[in-house]
Amino acid sequence: EADEARNAQDPYNINGVSATYMILNRNKRTLPLNLKTKQGIAIARRLLDGTDVVVENFRPGVLERLGLGYEEIRKINPEVIYGAISGFGRSGPYRDRAGFDLMAQGMAGIMSVTGEGPGRPPVKPGVPMTDITGGILLAMGICAALRHREVTGEGQMVDTSLFEAGIVQTYWHSAIAFSTGETPVPLGSGHPLNSPYQALKTKDGWITVGAANRSTWKRFAELVDPRMLEDSRFSTNEARMENLPDLVAHLNSLLEKKTTDAWLTLFENAGVPAGPINSIPQMHADPQVLAREMVVTQTHAEAGPVKTLGLPVKFSNTPGGPRHPASLYGQHTREILYEAGYDDSEIDAFISQQVTVASS
């Protein structure tokens, strides 16, 4: 029950193993610890003595009450980099609030500029943006802190939040609000300053087109309807933005005459940026995705062969990727505790006292 991500009644499972858990936890060793016991705290402190980086995502104060907060850990490991991510960060009036991606997106303004226009219900993007971005921001901060430690020998805490991860996504809309005093509104798939730069309907689906600058617009219009180049409503970007509903209606009527693939071929040959709107399975099968090894197969001990997402950053000298599948519950308990200096009798005692769990 302690490992909710693993044990949740996930309808999206493979042979009884959560598919989400397997994607998020590959390449990791795991050690279950009951931190409500003195032995569990003692084990954690021993493991943290000498470690380079600690990462936690509890609400502020939880680990402090257990004696595992930054100030306590730095006493035994002064050079530690202690990364903490929470709903709202370690300071400010909201620091003690619980927070999830949904709240962060709403409070950061993301949901106010997402959707099909004013007067419609707020829309949350289909992916957990602040969860993902928050992790990336924390990793970047930890890398910077490690570099600082390399130069100075100093450890430090790195603190970020889901709320801030949402705020940084609004750089464009914040710039508009700062400069004009106006409140940005949702524009569907469109852009606040340029057009056409959005999704358009084809004969068999949808396509995205980015023909916002003068030269790209000219190439696009010559393919779709050359008369638009002389139409005062559409001849300049300013005019197109003023007449955006008319432009979109006109373009949809034209693009619906051909399939997505037909338009993509024409646009690619003309140097017009465009792409299909894929479903998730279509994205998984995309040749570029496969060529970049962004969908790979691993063999999990219980689930068997499973597909997972690959490494989105490529290194010329140190190639990486998902080498090890997500662990079984308690799979690495003995291995990790041996490395920490415990012997079999001590580990067996921890298991019998429900301080930890081992699968073997």
Catalytic residue (one of 3, 131, 231, 286)? 131
Relative to beta strand 206-210, strand 274-276 is: antiparallel
Q: Could you tell me the two tokens for 227? A: 């008369």
CA distance between the termini of the chain: 19
* Cβ-Cβ contacts under 8 Å for 179 (sequence gap 6 or more): none
User: Which strands sit side by side in the sheet containing 81-86, from one edge to the other?
Assistant: 53-56, 81-86, 156-161
SS3 label, residue 232: coil
Beta bridge partners of 304: 300
CB-CB contact of 137 with 131 (8 Å): no
DSSP string, 252-271: HHHHTTS-HHHHHHHHHHHT
User: Which strands sit side by side in the sheet containing 197-201, from one edge to the other?
Assistant: 197-201, 206-210, 274-276
Helices (H), 108-259: 129-152, 162-167, 171-180, 214-224, 237-242, 244-255
SS3 label, residue 18: strand
φ, ψ for residue 24 (rounded to 5)?
Answer: -80, -20
Q: Measured in whole angstroms, how far is the alpha carbon of residue 163 from the centre of its chain?
A: 14
Q: Would you call 348 a catalytic residue per the annotation?
A: no
Catalytically annotated residues: 131
